[in-house]
Amino acid sequence: MRIGIDFDNTIAGYDGLFATLAEERGLFQQAPVGKRDLRDALRRRPEGELTWRRLQATAYGARMGDAELQDGAARFIRICGQSGITVSIVSHKTRHANFASDGTDLRRAATMWMEAHGFFDAMGLKLSRDDIHFEDTRAAKVAKIAELNCQWFIDDLEEVFAEPGFPGSARAVLFDPHGAAVTAAGVAAGADLLRCRHWDEIGGHIFGAGH
C-alpha cells in the first residue's frame, strides 16, 4: 500500500507562524489564529490577496524553519513504516515564490525542514528522499498522485480532490483541524471524502481504532 500526503498545512503547520508574521508586519494587533481565518480576513482588505501571497512566500521560504510539525503526523508516518506502508509526500510547490524577492528556494527550505525533523533519519521517520515530490502546478500534483498509485491521499485543500484527473482509486482524506463538525462516521454530510480534525483520527480510519 502507498499513502500520499500533502506537505504545506498538512504535515507542516503554519497557523502560529502566519499570525506572528501578520503581527510583525503591523497587519493586526492580534491576528486571527488559523490559516483560513487569517487568509479570509486579509482578502477582505484592499490588495488583500497580494498581502496574503506575500505572507505565504515568507512562511514557506525564509521563515520555513519556524513552521511546526502537525501534532500526530510523525506518529502516523512512523506507524506506516512499521506496517510496511510506503509514504509519498506530494506537494504543489514551485521552486521560487512569485511574491517574494529574496530568492529563497522553497523546495530546498521544505527539504531542510524535513531534515531537521528527522524525516530521513534511520532512527527517525525513515522516509526515502525519492518519495518526496514537488510539482509546479496542482494538475501536475494530481498526475503524480495517479502515477504513484496512491491508495489514500491526505490534503488540507478540497480543491485537490476536485482537480480533474484526481484518481478515483485513491481515497480522499481532508485534513481539516479548524473545519465544521463531522458526522459520527467521520465523513462530512454529502461529501465524497473523509474529513478529519486530527492525524490520530486519520490513523484510526486507516489502521483501526487500536493503532
Would you state the pLDDT for residue 210?
65
In the DSSP assignment, the letter for residue 8 is: B
Domain ranges of the chain: 2-12+68-207, 15-66
Would you state the pLDDT for residue 112?
97
What is the spatial distance between Cα 152 and Cα 100, in angstroms, rounded to a whole number?
A: 33
What is the spatial distance between Cα 32 and Cα 16, in angstroms, rounded to a whole number?
A: 9
What is the spatial distance between Cα 179 and Cα 52, in angstroms, rounded to a whole number?
A: 20
- Residue 199's nearest CA partner among 13, 70, 10, 72 is 72
Would you state the pLDDT for residue 187?
37
Please report which helix (H) or strand (E) contains residue 134, including its range: strand 132-135
Q: What is the DSSP track for 152-166?
A: EEEES-HHHHHSTT-
Q: What is the pLDDT of residues 100-128, one digit of tens each?
A: 667 889 999 999 999 999 999 999 999 99
Would you state the pLDDT for residue 183?
40
- Topology adopted by domain 2-12+68-207: Rossmann fold (3.40.50)
Would you state the pLDDT for residue 101?
65
Would you state the pLDDT for residue 179?
77
As given in the structure block, the three cell numbers for residue 78 are 512512523
Would you state the pLDDT for residue 26?
95
Helices (H), 25-105: 35-43, 48-60, 73-82
Q: What is the pLDDT of residues 69-104, one digit of tens each?
A: 999 999 999 999 999 999 999 999 999 987 766 788
Low-confidence ranges of the chain (pLDDT < 50): 181-191
